[in-house]
């Protein structure tokens, strides 16, 4: 595996978090999940958490300015110097442009964007199952529908964005965790 500055892109429930976890274990670089960071901020009731909470509960994207600040602070930390697996950031073209600008300032580039593809019916089925197991506050049916719509409208244009930068690899996200991990690994080779 060669790429170490990686973005996992895909709709909610595509398995980004699971695959990101497997990648960080094998690559030894940090997973950077804005969703996890925002949930921690909500739990800790920080100013960022208070701002993000209502958007998250409704399944809406948190405003770009808030998320970009959170991601920039994290990416500037020492452990992200050697590489990272981005999971859930960027989610809009404005965020992708901010990421490009930041990486340029840090003297590096994104080496690969792996887009995990899963059809909508399978995604909703997975998310409702996760709701039963994890009890996430945004895993109710209405919030799930909103998150899908937000993905379609605001995040899916990033597939073309990264294709245009010649760093896109598309991976079929249907199958066992191991099968998908193997496809991701091949996409990064
Ligand atoms: P996730 O755990 O990645 O599914 O993110 C959960 C929620 O956090 C999303 O539905 C958004 O409300 C918010 N969120 C996480 N990452 C971002 C982002 N890059 N841009 C905007 N909102 C985000």
**CATH code, 173:** 3.40.50.300
Mutate-to-test residue for ligand 1 from 41, 57, 62, 75, highest number of ligand atoms within 8 A of CB? 62
- Per the structure, the complete domain to which residue 38 belongs is given by 5-188
Which atom of ligand 1 sits closest to the CA of residue 59? 10
Q: Is the CB of 22 under 6 A from ligand 1?
A: no
Q: How far is the CA of 147 from the centre of ligand 1 (A)?
A: 9
The pLDDT tens digits for 124-159 are: 888 888 888 887 777 788 888 899 999 999 999 999
Q: Nearest residue CA, atom 15 of ligand 1?
A: 35
Q: In which band, very low, low, confident or very high, does the pLDDT at 2 lie, cut at 50, 70 and 90?
A: low
Q: How far is the CA of 36 from the centre of ligand 1 (A)?
A: 8
Q: How many domains does the chain have?
A: 1
Active site residues: 16, 91, 130, 136, 147
Q: Nearest residue CA, atom 6 of ligand 1?
A: 35
DSSP character at residue 9? E
Q: How far is the CA of 62 from the centre of ligand 1 (A)?
A: 7
Beta-strand ranges (E) seen in the chain are 5-9, 31-33, 84-87, 112-117, 168-172
Q: Measure the CA angle with vertex 158, ends 153 and 162; round to 5°.
A: 165
Give the 3-state DSSP-derived string for 34-59, with helices as H, strands as E and coil as C. HHHHHHHHHHHCCHHHHHHHHHHHHC
Q: Is the CB of 34 under 6 A from ligand 1?
A: yes
Task: List Cβ<8 Å contacts ≥24 apart for 47-50.
Answer: none
Which atom of ligand 1 sits closest to the CA of residue 89? 19
The pLDDT tens digits for 42-93 are: 999 999 999 999 999 999 999 999 999 999 999 999 999 999 999 999 999 9
Q: Is the CB of 16 under 6 A from ligand 1?
A: no
The pLDDT tens digits for 148-189 are: 999 999 999 999 999 999 999 999 999 999 999 999 999 998
pLDDT of amino acid 1: 47
Average pLDDT over every residue of 88-99: 98
Average pLDDT over every residue of 95-114: 96
Q: How far is the CA of 89 from the centre of ligand 1 (A)?
A: 8
The two tokens of residue 121 are 């019916």
């Amino acid at each position: 595996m060669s790429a170490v500055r990686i973005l996992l892109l895909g709709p909610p429930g595509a398995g980004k978090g699971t695959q990101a976890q497997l990648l960080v274990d094998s690559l030894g670089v940090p997973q950077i999940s804005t969703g996890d960071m925002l949930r921690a901020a909500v739990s800790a009731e920080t100013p960022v958490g208070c701002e993000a909470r209502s958007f998250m509960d409704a399944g809406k994207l948190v405003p770009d300015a808030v998320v970009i600040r959170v991601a920039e602070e994290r990416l500037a930390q020492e452990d992200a110097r050697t590489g990272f697996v981005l999971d859930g950031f960027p989610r809009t073209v404005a965020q992708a442009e901010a990421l490009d600008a930041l990486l340029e300032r840090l003297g590096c580039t994104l080496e690969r964007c792996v887009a995990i593809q899963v059809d909508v019916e399978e995604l909703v089925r997975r998310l409702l199952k996760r709701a039963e197991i994890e009890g996430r506050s945004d895993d109710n049916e209405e919030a799930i529908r909103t998150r899908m719509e937000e993905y379609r409208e605001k995040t899916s244009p990033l597939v073309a964005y990264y294709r245009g930068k010649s760093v896109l690899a598309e991976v079929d996200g249907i199958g066992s965790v191991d099968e998908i991990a193997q496809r991701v690994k091949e996409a990064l080779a």
